[in-house]
Structure 1
Amino acid sequence: MRLSRSLAPLTVALCLVLSLAYDATPHARVQAHRTASPEPFGATCLIRVTGSHVTAYCHNPYVLVDRVSLHIECDRWWDVDSDGTEVAAGPAQTVRLTGRCWQEVRSVWVSHRGEGKAG
């Protein structure tokens, strides 16, 4: 089917108008509701592995309490991995977490959990 010469420019113009991005059309310019940005959170942890012993120092520079926990994965299949208990790192506080394997350490990480909002 062949378009006549008078319909071809109209068809091209219609395709261009329809292909405009939705955000560029006037009805799409509605301001999104701004939500309050979350407060900074989370202690910074320095982890040191010395042989089979692990020590982590976590410093919380923020107002919210960060509950940190040390997790150790041991290299040997028979060596018991460990998940430490949660320790509350309050505002401007540094906490020390320790643990160990019987032999080599495969991996270590610290988990973080917030404790409500600042008063």
Structure 2
Amino acid sequence: MIRCSASVLAALATVLCAAPGVALSAPLDDRPEPRKYKAYCHTVIDGSRATAYCNNPYPGGDRVRLHIECERWWDLDVDSAPARIDPAGYVELTGRCWKEIRAVWVSHQPLAYP
């Protein structure tokens, strides 16, 4: 087991930070802009059926998919087809398992407009 004192660790950090050409993280300008707006979705589970209600109040488009994980090992999980939601749009996505549902979530993908 190697033990380092606080002064050794501080000296190593100083050398790494001061070394020319060593980038510890990407410059702020090169980082992708985080997605600020995505459609608002809420899910409802009713027995073995799940429904996602999504609306998009934002100026950008969104593509949503409903994902359902079934409780039983033999029951196939469900991934819906992608649904496009334009600005001010609304969509309902449904799916079901044969028996119980373990988890439900909605994934988002931004739409690029020309």
Please give the alpha-carbon distance, in whole angstroms, between the structure 2 residues aligned to 1:103 and 1:39. Answer: 36
Seq. identity, %: 49
1:84 to 75, 80, 89: 80
Unaligned 5+ segments in structure 1 are: 1-31
Unaligned 5+ segments in structure 2 are: 1-27
Letter of the 1:64 partner, please give it. G
**RMSD of aligned Cα (Å):** 2.6
Match of 1:50 in 2: 46
Displacement, 1:39?
Answer: 7.0
TM-score by length of 1: 0.65
Please give the alpha-carbon distance, in whole angstroms, between the structure 2 residues aligned to 1:84 and 1:41. Answer: 22
The answer as to 2:59 corresponding to 1:63 is yes
1:94 alignment partner, SS class:
strand
Displacement, 1:90?
Answer: 0.8
TM-score by length of 2: 0.68
Q: Label 1:111 to 1:39 Cα distance change in 2 as closer, same or farther (>3 A).
A: closer
Please give the alpha-carbon distance, in whole angstroms, between the structure 1 residues aligned to 2:76 and 2:34. Answer: 38
Please give the alpha-carbon distance, in whole angstroms, between the structure 1 residues aligned to 2:76 and 2:107. Answer: 19
Please give the alpha-carbon distance, in whole angstroms, between the structure 1 residues aligned to 2:112 and 2:95. Answer: 28
Does structure 2 conserve the Cα–Cα contact (< 8 Å) formed by 1:63 and 1:91? yes
Match of 1:101 in 2: 97
Letter of the 1:110 partner, please give it. V
Does structure 2 conserve the Cα–Cα contact (< 8 Å) formed by 1:40 and 1:62? no
Please give the alpha-carbon distance, in whole angstroms, between the structure 2 residues aligned to 1:94 and 1:88. Answer: 9
Letter of the 2:64 partner, please give it. V
Alignment of 1:9-20 (within 5 A): none
Match of 1:110 in 2: 106
Moved >4 Å (runs of 4+)? none
Alignment size in residue pairs:
91
Match of 1:22 in 2: none
Query: Larger Cα Rg: Structure 1 or Structure 2?
Result: 1
